[in-house]
Amino acid sequence: MSKPAIAFLGLGIMGAGMARRLLANGFTVTVFNRSPEKAKALAVNGAQAAKSPREAASDAAVIISMVADDQASRTMWLGENGALAGAARGTVCIECSTVTVDWVRELAAAVTAKQCEFLDAPVTGTKSHAAAGELNFLVGGDERTVEKVRSVFAAMSKTVLPVGPIGSGALLKLINNFLCGVQVASLAEAMAMIERSGLDRAKALEVLTNGTPGSPLIKTVATRMTTPDYTPNFLLRLVTKDLSYAIKEAVKLSIELPTALAARDEFQKAINAGHGDKDLAAVVEPLRER
């Protein structure tokens, strides 16, 4: 499967970049997006636009989904017009969205019933990483299936890391995003303290971003907060969703995530203030307004 035909479902901030990488690497790609204009935009790069996930999947050896949440993923895969209705036996189905472990396992069972193969393969990275083919895939599933589609992953990635059985990729991604959400929420609170106190913001951020707290995420988001530039790289409302999913997964393990709950509260306040479709850095704005 060096150059399998691919159906790509979902052309949002991440999906569009991923699909373009596949096209740039010589893959035949049929795309579907709920907003048709996004699919049409890929036509200039050589993609074929389908009218439904089922149509997109009908001639594909590999199906990839990259959408917002469980419900969007369910719509793409299941039902009369879902991708599985059009998938041929032996098709490799890859869910790259950040979704719950329960849904991944339900989807895996549906894929198996169609005599297809399944991987849950969410990614770490941002819009720029997707566009550059530098994503990191966290893959749950049979490593033999991973090897079948190694060339597909290679076109979009810097690393491909098998992390365990089906569901492992989804869980690790939620833990990753939980940590990211908490960091950004704490940065927003720190930024508000700095700005209200009268400290020299530039000097304060120089200390924080170049010191122990200065993770790559903190450095990047601090710049966006101070510019300010809220052009979406990671939609704020999706951070809230990811935190909610992580909290639910932790409950299954009899673990509470009080820091995730507090972070989710800050992001929810930003959504309530109208910042949901901006970059996650906009979480600072309601704190500035109080």
Q: Are 45 and 61 in contact (CB under 8 A)?
A: no
pLDDT at 103: 98
pLDDT at 58: 97
Structural domain 6-165, CATH architecture: 3-Layer(aba) Sandwich (3.40)
pLDDT at 267: 98
SS3 annotation, the chain = CCCCCEEEECCCHHHHHHHHHHHHCCCCEEEECCCHHHHHHHHCCCCEECCCHHHHHCCCCEEEECCCCHHHHHHHHCCCCCHHHHCCCCCEEEECCCCCHHHHHHHHHHHHHCCCEEEECCEECCHHHHHHCCEEEEEECCHHHHHHCHHHHHHHEEEEEEEECCCHHHHHHHHHHHHHHHHHHHHHHHHHHHHHHCCCHHHHHHHHHHCCCCCHHHHHHHHHHHCCCCCCCCEHHHHHHHHHHHHHHHHHCCCCCHHHHHHHHHHHHHHHCCCCCCEHHHHHHHHHHC
Q: Are 91 and 57 in contact (CB under 8 A)?
A: yes
pLDDT at 290: 76
Confidence (pTM) = 0.96
Query: What is the spatial distance between Cα 205 and Cα 219, in angstroms, rounded to a whole number?
Result: 9
For residue 95, give both structure tokens: 């869910």
Query: What is the spatial distance between Cα 224 and Cα 128, in angstroms, rounded to a whole number?
Result: 15
CATH numeric code, 171-289: 1.10.1040.10
Per-residue pLDDT of the chain (290 residues; tens, 9 = 90+): 689 999 999 999 999 999 999 999 999 999 999 999 999 889 989 999 999 999 999 999 999 999 999 999 999 999 999 999 999 999 999 999 999 999 999 999 999 999 999 999 999 999 999 999 999 999 999 999 999 999 999 999 999 999 999 999 999 999 999 999 999 999 999 999 999 999 999 999 999 999 999 999 999 999 999 999 999 999 999 999 999 999 999 999 999 999 999 999 999 999 999 999 999 999 999 999 87
Within a 10 A sphere around the Cβ of 220, how many other Cβ atoms?
16
Task: Name the β-bridge partners of 30.
Answer: 7, 48
For residue 2, give both structure tokens: 């060096």
pLDDT at 109: 98
Within a 10 A sphere around the Cβ of 161, how many other Cβ atoms?
14
Q: Are 276 and 237 in contact (CB under 8 A)?
A: yes
Q: Are 243 and 160 in contact (CB under 8 A)?
A: no
Tell me which residue of 211, 214, 222 sits closest to 283, measured CA to CA.
Answer: 222
Query: What is the spatial distance between Cα 124 and Cα 147, in angstroms, rounded to a whole number?
Result: 20
- Please report, for the chain, the start and end positions of each structural domain, with discontinuous segments joined by +: 6-165, 171-289
